[in-house]
Chain A
């Protein structure tokens, strides 16, 4: 936190949460795959209650960035500070306990469990130690939490349907529900509308807008309409570095960003 004063990013003028300490901060975060620098010295700050998009052309380092934040990948350099704790290199389950949840680019659900069971397993990971004797269905608080998560992603009516029988869009939203059931402080969404029809995209957009009311969200997305409508600020990655950061309007007006998108 001391280093902050010497850096100019995160100007206090940009609205929500800018006055309190950032929920998430990376310092000189770097990942190398052999000789390839997938992320180079990324200094990133995310304010509480902010909805932030990370965009960039193919291979910019977006997924690598997510993978570092969620413990899927160990950074080769730099630090990740979340909610005041250094979480650099922690395993993904421990990071999840700290309050970062994510959805994946590829749907990640238990197809042979019901929608409710899918979210209940996630809810359980927060409330109780593993218990061999009592069935998890018996814990009222877990059930409540799970149902609330299903409700917030619009799937309560399908609680008892097998996840495999849900539509593609519903499965993607169920995955968000699973993440929500862990009661995260930060939700990372990796291409939440990938492979969705225009109608499904709209529904998911509304869903994210709803849950964003009391949650900090980091989102990787290629659908610019979704990005521009939902996000307060946008970070543009290019070749593993931050190329630009700003409001949707600022990013849209930035000629450098357009350049890397069109490869001119």
Chain B
């Protein structure tokens, strides 16, 4: 059973941002791998290991392949080539570049996905609502997240109704166009009509709030967490600068 972390959503995000920026700045393969391993451990503790692994893998595999093609096979630097067939030129350096770039993306993906899995959506929306950003932002995030499964279900029902009417059985290009039309138009019509119907009642209930706004839901926070958030943001900005400066000095 998935365990939940009771930290404030912004704390988790702040730490994630700091980790990502500093790891990217350092650009050390063992650090990147250690960070990803830590993420997998945390995911395992929280019960989301399989999801994290599968989603990251699905996203990172094409990326790695693409980088391999661009940098690994077609290096344009001057170092000696391992292998060469016509325009293809494989060098160790090229492969290293591809790997480093891939790891950079990998850290972003793994840490980012972990955040998505650990943060409770309702708590995140409440945290955003209670912060100084415009109230529309929290609404839009929540409405999209919670609307998506409803619309997917509606699409399924529409598909069922169309099967009953024996629609969408044409062949060739015309049949493909008709199927596209059948998939898209009823869903767009129904959901946009629904959006229009809802709007006036939202207004009647006082949305968007013009003055101060409150939430019934509590988002537990503490001064310790606030401190951690500030520290994390400072690290996220100054950390990379320091690391790059050090690296710059070191290479002189």
A and B interact physically = no
Chain A residues with a Cβ under 8 A of chain B: none
Chain B residues with a Cβ under 8 A of chain A: none
